[in-house]
Chains A and B, each alone.
Chain A
Amino acid sequence: MKLALPALTFLAVPLAAAAVEAGEPAPARQRELIHLVRQDCGSCHGMKLTGGLGSPLTAEALRDKPLEGLEATIHGGRPGTAMPPWKTILSESEIQWIVHKLMTGFPTE
């Protein structure tokens, strides 16, 4: 089990609880994550996640892609592309939650 150690040391306060429980992020953190994905992932993937410099992240576009691969991409980035690693910002369980939401249609803010 790879634990989100960098996240714990880097941004300890808001992430610690979520990472330790490894369950769903708390509702307030969920709102932050939705904002982060729409706005900051959105700077490359588009606010509507329909793509830009980054590929589309709509449920439709991701349908046939394996979960683990998508999670690994968010965690470690994709070397040689513009997709950066988010492991210092997001815990494993937060990444899992984001991928789950992306696959099922990402909530709006």
Chain B
Amino acid sequence: MKALLTLLVLFLSGCAQTPAIRGTGDLGIVIERASGRVAIVDTTARSVLARVDGLGDLSHASAVFSRDGRYAYVFGRDGGLTKIDLLLGRIAKRVIQAGNSIGGAISQDGRLVVAQNYTPGGIKVFDAATLELLSEVPTGSKVVGLADLPGQRFAYALFDAGEIWLTDLSNPREPRTQKFPAGRQPYDGLVTPDGRHYMAGLFGEDGIALLDAWRPEAGARKILENYGRGEEKLPVFKMPHLRGWAVAGGRAYLPAIGRHEVLVVDTATWREVGRIAVKGQPVFVMARPDSRQIWVNFAFPNNGWVQVIDTPSNQIVQTLQPGKAILHMEFTPRGEEVWLSARDDNMVGIYDTATFTRKATLAADSPSGIFFTSRAHRTGF
């Protein structure tokens, strides 16, 4: 009897220490940028599970996930790369890898994490398990738009040099890089969901540079050339962001630069097939995972608005004012809800994407990026 009691006590105290067994498919993180902290969230319960401090300067932070969905790799402005254990709610490893960083990506096999840096300009390759530095590719230019491609390759663009570089990391200690002229001042890039086409949006000229990663030797070509038709540009108070979510139902929906428009391109011909007038300079133009809707947020001073485009008709079907300074949007894995961060209202609003009603509100300190683990299995995220 006494032995049994001891066993019972051991068992109970064991339970108190070990977190309950659970999956991570419905987890994610919200960057609380002003306080150098991330909130670990549960998209099923619509709740915050834990907060993790000590991540440094998180202005313009972004994150990728390990393919087991357990770890988030957060890239901070100050060059910090932090690996967070979502289940234990704590930092697993943290390194300062550069002076000024802008984001990163994870390889096809999940074994390499690559950071893209402004100063010193270049990419750095890390072992995803240990964050040991394996190699680097200096560029002498600010790196933007880093994206993972099939075959342990990474594509990225050079803001100052106007080039797209394609680096093969099949041997991660010996990167092999091809370089292609792209156009003036690429500001961000994306890879299509199939991993085939890399696009770099251009700031210094009208157009998008397009590289077919199945035939890189053909070089980058320009699409949407002269979409501004020589008209004077409106000021761009915040740079748009590009990612594979732009592609929906055989079309790519892309932010125009200096025009309050979303440009629509047919991905079979790469020709413009439409443009949609919107409320401001688009920042994120994101397809719901089923491609039926495109959600758009805007640069200052129109960053209190969010608009929704219906893809079959290319019409705006909803205009929302979800809060002050909407910085980011993230869909739940299959898109029935979208989470919106309202920086100046210190909250995240969770919306039903069919009815556009708010289902829940979570308090968050100056929230910016929202990243869910469903990104772990998408090329280009």
Residue numbers of A with Cβ under 8 A of B are: 35, 39-40, 42-44, 46-48, 50-53, 77, 80, 82, 84-86, 88-89, 109
Q: Is the pair B159, A53 in contact by a Cβ cutoff of 8 Å?
A: yes
Known contacts A40-B300, A52-B100; A84/B60 CB under 8 A: no
> Ordered nearest first, which 3 A-B pairs have the shortest CB separation?
A47-B59, A84-B235, A40-B300
Distance between Cα atoms of A45 and B102 in the complex (Å):
12
Give B292-318 as 1s and 0s: 1 = Cβ < 8 Å from A's Cβ atoms.
000000001100000000000000000
Across the two chains, which residue of chain A brings its CB closest to B77? A46
B203 touches A40 (CB 8 A): no
**Which chain B positions have C-beta within 8 A of A52?**
59-60, 77, 100, 102, 118
Q: List CB contacts (< 8 Å) of B243-264 with chain A.
A: none
Contact (Cβ within 8 A) B119 A53: no
Shortest distance in angstroms between A101's beta carbon and chain B's nearest beta carbon? Answer: 18
Q: Are A39 and B100 within 8 A (Cβ)?
A: no
Tell me the interface secondary structure of chain A in the complex: loop
Instruction: Give CA–CA (A14, B366) in the complex, Å.
Output: 23
What residue of chain B has the Cβ atom nearest to residue A77's Cβ?
B235
Q: Using known A-B contacts A39-B325, A82-B185, A84-B235, determine if residue A51 contacts B57 with beta carbons closer than 8 Å.
A: no
Q: What residues of A have a CB within 8 angstroms of the CB of B33 in the complex?
A: 47
A52 to B235, CA, bound (A): 18
Having A51-B118, A52-B118, A82-B236, one finds 12 other A-B pairs with CB under 8 Å, namely: A43-B300, A44-B239, A46-B59, A47-B33, A47-B57, A47-B59, A48-B77, A50-B77, A53-B159, A53-B239, A80-B204, A84-B237
Knowing A50-B78, A53-B142, A109-B34, the reply to whether A43 touches B239 (Cβ < 8 A) is yes
Do A88 and B59 touch (CB < 8 A)? no
Question: Which has the most chain B C-beta neighbours within 10 Å: A35, A47, A77?
Answer: A47
The 7 sampled A-B contact pairs (Cβ below 8 Å) are A39-B344, A47-B57, A48-B59, A51-B100, A51-B119, A52-B77, A77-B235
Residue ID in chain B nearest A88 by CB atoms: B235
